[in-house]
């Protein structure tokens, strides 16, 4: 998993995502020169007012074209998480959650995730 790694999807289409993850069998090490040219398996963007259109529209469309299996949009202002799963016709919203919820969010659905912990409002031990 990486924080703010440049990923090139198509020639001259480079995004710097807030969080990016690859399955170990697809990318054993991030010790490669940027930009990474291997499609991520998971991307998470932390929504900000200045980048909202880019994250919700531009990146959503670009990541779908590239076949990124899971795209999360986390909104720190309203403490929400929206999980998208790639489908041929477009991303399908498979989960929405907010403060107080504990969820199993694809592709990490083997683990319970407390939304309050995700946004730093609670400790993981609570």
- Reported as a single tens digit per residue, the pLDDT across 70-100 is 999 999 999 999 999 999 999 999 999 999 9
- Does residue 29 have a pLDDT over 80? no
Residue 123 lies inside a defined structural domain of this protein:
no
Give the CATH number of the domain where residue 48 resides.
3.90.1570.10
Band of pLDDT at residue 124, cut at 50, 70 and 90: confident
pLDDT (0 to 100) of residue 3: 74
Residue 54 lies inside a defined structural domain of this protein:
yes
pLDDT (0 to 100) of residue 63: 97
C-alpha–C-alpha distance, residues 38 and 28, integer Å: 11
Check: CB of residue 60 under 8 Å from CB of residue 84: yes
Domain around 67: 2-118
Instruction: Look up the pTM and report it.
Output: 0.90
Check: CB of residue 43 under 8 Å from CB of residue 19: yes
Q: Helix or strand or coil: residue 16?
A: strand
Residue 125 lies inside a defined structural domain of this protein:
no
C-alpha–C-alpha distance, residues 15 and 36, integer Å: 10
- Does residue 36 have a pLDDT over 80? yes
Number of domains the chain is built from? 1
- Does residue 48 have a pLDDT over 80? yes
pLDDT (0 to 100) of residue 25: 84
How much is the average pLDDT of 26-35?
72
Residue 52 lies inside a defined structural domain of this protein:
yes
How much is the average pLDDT of 44-55?
93
Residue 126 lies inside a defined structural domain of this protein:
no
Q: Helix or strand or coil: residue 4?
A: coil
CA distances from 15 to 4, 6, 36, 75 (A): 9, 6, 10, 19
Residue 124 lies inside a defined structural domain of this protein:
no
């Amino acid at each position: 998993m990486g924080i703010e790694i440049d990923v090139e999807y198509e020639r001259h289409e480079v995004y710097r995502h807030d969080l990016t993850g690859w399955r170990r069998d697809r990318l054993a090490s991030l010790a490669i020169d940027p930009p990474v040219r291997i499609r991520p398996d998971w991307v998470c963007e932390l929504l900000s007012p200045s980048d909202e259109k880019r994250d919700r529209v531009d990146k959503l469309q670009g990541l779908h074209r590239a076949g990124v299996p899971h795209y999360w949009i986390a909104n720190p202002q309203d403490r929400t998480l929206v999980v998208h799963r790639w489908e041929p016709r477009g991303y399908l919203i498979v989960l929405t959650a907010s403060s107080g919820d504990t969820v199993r969010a694809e592709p990490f659905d083997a683990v319970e995730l407390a939304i309050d912990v995700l946004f730093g409002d609670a400790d993981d031990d609570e």
